[in-house]
Amino acid sequence: MIIEEITMSEFQEKLKESRTIIFPFGTIEEHGSHLPLNTDTLIIQRALLEAEKKRRFFLAPPVYYGVCTTTSPHPGTIGITPPTLRRLTYDLVVDSYKKGLRNFLLLSGHGGGMHMSAMKESAERLVDELDDIRIVTSSPYELIWKELSEITETENDSHAGELETSLVLALEPELVKGRAEEEYPSLPRPFIVKDKIKYWPGGVWGNPQKATKEKGEKALQIIVDWIIDLVDRIEDDSSF
């Protein structure tokens, strides 16, 4: 049930079928010289559209902006601050709750630490304040990273590397502009530096050269199955 495609009367009627809503969270963020800026949003939104074919839930439009830290100076990255994301997450859930929804899955295609932390802080507050609410805040890169990483050949693969490039190849191959070279950030941890591009010029963490459409299709199915499992669990009283 894709929210932007139904009327208010249909929305009210479909509440009889489900009181679960999923909000996709993504970013406008650099993903190397070869992937589009909407990579995080594209992956999670398309996985949710596939899951929606197999389960009944309300699917909200994606939140395109997120908290980007290490990639913040790179060309094309347009981010928001953690307080903004906390507030946006909180307001979306509260207003959806007022409309009769009770099960909330906040699923992010971006797995950045401060980004996920902001969403989880709001979820903790919401669970305290709203009665009869169930909420999940997660990213596939948190809970099913082991399964996803088994698809790739690159050790320590991450941002704009083999996995994400494979997923975009499977979803929108025309958006993949060649392949960036293998690269890994050399940030001087634990120091926080302003000139992050100096230590990570290409914005790639992994080896896009090893990406294939077939790997992306396998990864997409793993993510879709994970979403379906979350929907089943959040609607199952025995899970709580």
- CA gap 112, 70 in Å, rounded: 9
- CA gap 171, 47 in Å, rounded: 9
| pLDDT at 236 exceeding the cut of 90 | no
Phi then psi for residue 179, to 5 deg, are: -140, 125
Domains defined for the chain, CATH in brackets: 3-239 (3.40.50.10310)
Residues 6+ apart with CB under 8 A from 185: 70, 199, 200, 205
Composition of the chain by helix, strand, coil, percent to 5: 45, 10, 40
Helices (H), 75-212: 82-98, 113-129, 140-143, 145-149, 162-171, 196-199
User: What is the amino acid identity at position 215?
Assistant: K
| Strands annotated E in the chain | 20-25, 58-59, 103-108, 134-138
Mean pLDDT of all residues in 154-159: 93
Q: What is the percent of the chain with per-residue pLDDT over 70, rounded to a whole number?
A: 99
Q: What is the pLDDT of residues 165-214, one digit of tens each?
A: 999 999 999 999 999 999 999 999 899 899 999 999 999 999 999 999 99
Phi then psi for residue 153, to 5 deg, are: -95, -20
Mean pLDDT of all residues in 88-101: 98
pLDDT class for 238, splitting at 50, 70, 90?
A: low
Question: Distance from first CA to last CA of the chain, Å, rounded?
Answer: 25
CB atoms within 10 A of CB 41: 24
- CA gap 183, 199 in Å, rounded: 11
Q: Mean pLDDT in the chain?
A: 96
Q: What is the pLDDT of residues 16-70, one digit of tens each?
A: 999 999 999 999 999 999 999 999 999 999 999 999 999 999 999 999 999 999 9
In degrees, rounded to 5, the angle at the alpha carbon of residue 27 between the alpha carbons of residues 212 and 76 is 85
